[in-house]
Amino acid sequence: MRRIGCCLLVAGLLAGLHGWARAESVTLAQFRQRDQQVENRLLKEFEAATGIRVEQRIMPASSDLQHQQYVTWLAGRDRSVDVYLIDLIWVAEFASAGWILPLDDRLPATARGDFLPAPLASAVYKGKLYAVPRFTESGLLYYRKDLIPTAPATWEELRGLAQAKRGGGVAGYVFQGKQYEGLVVNFLELLWSAGGEVLGPDGRILLNGPAGVVALTYLVELVGSGTAPRGVITYMERESLQEFLEGRALFHRNWSYAWSLVHREGSKVRGKVGVAPLPSWDGRRPGAAALGGWHLAISAYSERQDAAWRLIRFLTDARAQKAKAIGEGRLPTLASLYADPDVLVANPHFAALRQGLAHARHRPITPFYPRLSAVLQTSLSRALVGSSSPQEALDAAAREIATFVPRE
């Protein structure tokens, strides 16, 4: 009897293991979240509610490195990843290549009403929806309100205040100046503010016109004059924000998520910081902020597309987005959460940010954007380090971009 009992126990264990092995699973590729505990809790809740296991494939923090890895997998028709968390600037590229699935049938127009228009529009390519916005961002100006009570209205006013008030180990302005996507964003916000564009409606290259030269010259002069520390040419978001958190800068451009970090314990500027829209160029037209954010998309090569869709809907519903907003300070993509009392207690600045998001601008929506950005990164960096003049740098970029962006 004992032998029979043991055999039955072993058989039961094996059956359980076999059942677990056969349980449906889905793989999610994404960067490590700001508060991984919040993310892990959400994924465990999804598993408990659906019986679908979630395997995370954690990506590098650099969006450029993520993009390289995603392209390698998708171009190779890799089936091991079902859901990708993608930068909104990759939607057109991935959709045009057939790497991600259209989602119009899964998320019909009637189910899209609560999504903010700008993030939702960035998930559309040639009239079709290819991703669901998970959280969004826009560029903002952070400033030391204990030293400068009112945010500057124009970029020239910012430069004047930064030059006059800097000193004693405190820089005037820190931004993202390393050769990567962040540098392109900083340039674009100035370009747009000055009335310029990267591309015309017909695909004509416009970035090396007068507005582009003015915008790039402004960045070059900030670094050359010492108004921005020389170190900005090595700064990404994290490094530039750390300078500001340590009290070593008067002004700082970053995404909206930085607000929650400014006010966390350990920040030396806690309670001393104001936040405002980015300045305008001339005080007549409004400033221009780049729209940022990350979307969830289903791999065209996934063999678990229904499970993948269930995960996407769970992570983008109001309850999950509320958890990310409260736990991580992430800006929701659902309009209703900007009036949620719990969200506003944790993030009182969200009410004002929603209005700014309505005016945030998309980077050029083209399948060639990653290549266009790579060219711009190189040219802008050359100007910042002084190896090219702003006009020379932008002319070189325009010539190269014209070789692969088609005219319409």
pLDDT in tens, 314-367: 999 999 999 999 998 899 999 999 999 999 998 888 877 777 787 789 999 999
254-283: pLDDT as tens digits: 998 888 888 888 899 999 999 888 999 988
pLDDT at 5: 47
- The stretch 187-204 carries a mean pLDDT of 95
User: In whole numbers, what is the pLDDT of the chain averaged over residues?
Assistant: 92
Task: Catalogue all structural domains in the chain, each as residue range(s) with its CATH number.
Answer: 26-136+291-357 (3.40.190.10), 138-290+363-401 (3.40.190.10)
- The stretch 231-239 carries a mean pLDDT of 95
pLDDT at 34: 79
CA 384, 400, 126 angle in degrees (round to 5)? 105
204-215 burial, b at 16+ Cβ within 10 Å, e below that, comes to ebebbbebbbbb
pLDDT at 7: 47
The answer on pLDDT for 2 being more than 50 is no
117-130: pLDDT as tens digits: 999 999 999 999 99
Radius of gyration (C-alpha) of the chain in whole angstroms: 23
Rounded Cα gap, residues 362 and 372, in angstroms = 14
Contacts of 36 (CB under 8 A, 6+ apart): none
CB 219 within 8 Å of CB 388: no
pLDDT at 146: 95
pLDDT at 62: 84
pLDDT at 13: 44
Model confidence at 61, pLDDT cuts 50, 70, 90, reads confident
pLDDT at 11: 46
Contacts of 211 (CB under 8 A, 6+ apart): 191, 194, 195, 196, 197
149-176: pLDDT as tens digits: 999 999 999 999 999 999 999 999 999 9
pLDDT at 153: 95
Closest to 291 in 3D by CA, of 121, 176, 141: 121
Classify 247 in phi/psi space as left (phi over 0), alpha (psi -120 to 50) or beta.
left
pLDDT at 8: 44
- The stretch 186-215 carries a mean pLDDT of 96
pTM of this structure: 0.85
Q: Which range is least confidently modeled, 1-5, 189-193, 204-208, 302-306? A: 1-5
Model confidence at 17, pLDDT cuts 50, 70, 90, reads very low
Residue 60: alpha-carbon gap to chain centroid: 14
The answer on pLDDT for 80 being more than 80 is yes
pLDDT at 353: 78
- The stretch 380-393 carries a mean pLDDT of 98
Burial of 67 (0-12, 13-18, 19+ CB in 10 A): buried
The answer on pLDDT for 107 being more than 60 is yes
- The stretch 41-63 carries a mean pLDDT of 95
Rounded Cα gap, residues 198 and 208, in angstroms = 8
The answer on pLDDT for 16 being more than 60 is no
CB 296 within 8 Å of CB 145: no
- The stretch 224-237 carries a mean pLDDT of 96
| pLDDT > 70 fraction of the chain, expressed in percent and rounded | 94
pLDDT at 389: 98
pLDDT at 58: 96
